[in-house]
Structure 1
């Protein structure tokens, strides 16, 4: 049991979940280890699997309102196509994450509600996007989309290393493939600045 708790702590730390109350990780670990999550089906899920699924769902829920803005905030068809591709894959991932959480018997509530973690769009950032159009919107969108995709790939890689449930680690692999592809397409539209040599 201590090993499972350690893996859960690692997954949460990798995700940067430090913005909420100090007992958030302890509470998540306790929920994951309660008897209600030890049905024959749920035994195949580790606390790390559940923590990753919950975090992935929370991150996706923050991203979708941003992608919904694209058709009305830029007329550039290349940005619209990229947003549509990312939206389709993230909606599919969210559906699979929710299905797996239900299968695991995990709580349906979002344990990351109100947390501003790496890769998550804040309320202020979403407001700024809503008030921007054209090139300004595209610049803001690129920065937030790159941060989200990079963090999603990072925590999915951690799930692949530490997770145990086959369908969950398979979803993590799919997130990595899609995220890497979307990052490559994003770089073609908006290349990140090259660090200056020191």
Structure 2
């Protein structure tokens, strides 16, 4: 009986050792797979920020002259507007859109795409939503006081609506994450400004 007990104990011990060995082998087999998955993920994530498509390029190339015109309109307010609220709004528009123009230009340069030149401002030729014609810009420049406030607000509402539409297209069709983030910010901020401008027009 003692010999049988010893044999059984030995067999149990051997079986336990074998199972440990198999477990160790299994963990060793998993290690290369784990390494392979880690090795592939950094390259994928590293390339993601640089991925862009035609919609991203169109967004940047369209939004630059669009923003430039908004800044041009805002620059008229300090010397022509009567309302302090209109002057403040114009200043906020300029502060928000000037940096975005620089960012958009930087993206296009990095992508090897053409950055719209400062002189390419034939407003009627762009065909973009919300862009003012040369005649409309002349009307704004010729206005002052309360009349300027009204024309500025009406034009800027239209301008903002165009920018929001362009930003929604970028969100739907673009692939560059930073551009989609900017588009989202444009939708949020300019929609809020449209509400503010409509309220200001109601006070006139």
Deviation at 1:41, TM superposition (A): 9.2
Rate the CA distance shift 1:74–1:103 in 2: closer, same or farther, 3 A: same
Q: Work out which of the residue numbers 180, 183, 187 in structure 2 matches 1:172.
A: 183
Q: Say whether 1:55 aligns with 2:47.
A: no
Whether contact under 8 Å (1:50, 1:101) holds in the other structure is yes
Once the two structures are TM-superposed, the CA of residue 183 in structure 1 deviates from its matched residue by 1.0
Q: Residues 1-198 of structure 1 correspond to what in structure 2 (within 5 A)?
A: 44-110=51-117, 113-114=121-122, 115-117=125-127, 118-191=129-202
* TM-score calculated relative to the size of structure 1: 0.70
1:142-193 C-alpha deviation (Å, 9 max, x unpaired) = 111001101101110111011001111111111111111211211221149x
Number of residue equivalences: 152
Equivalent residue number for residue 35 of structure 2: none
Q: Distance in 2 between matches of 1:191 and 1:179?
A: 18
Q: Cα distance, 1:81 vs. partner?
A: 0.6
CA positional deviation for 1:43: 6.3
CA displacement at 1:106 relative to structure 2: 0.7
Greater RCO, 1 or 2 (C-alpha within 8 Å, sep 6+): 1
**Cα RMSD for the two superposed structures:** 2.1
Q: Classify the secondary structure of the residue corresponding to 1:190.
A: helix
Deviation above 6 Å: which 4+ runs of structure 1? 40-43
Q: Which runs of 5+ in 1 are unaligned?
A: 1-39, 193-198
CA distance in 2, matches of 1:143, 1:70: 14
Could you list the runs of 5+ residues in structure 2 that have no partner in the other structure? 1-46
Give the stretch that moved more between structures: 175-184 or 50-59.
Answer: 175-184
Deviation at 1:73, TM superposition (A): 0.5
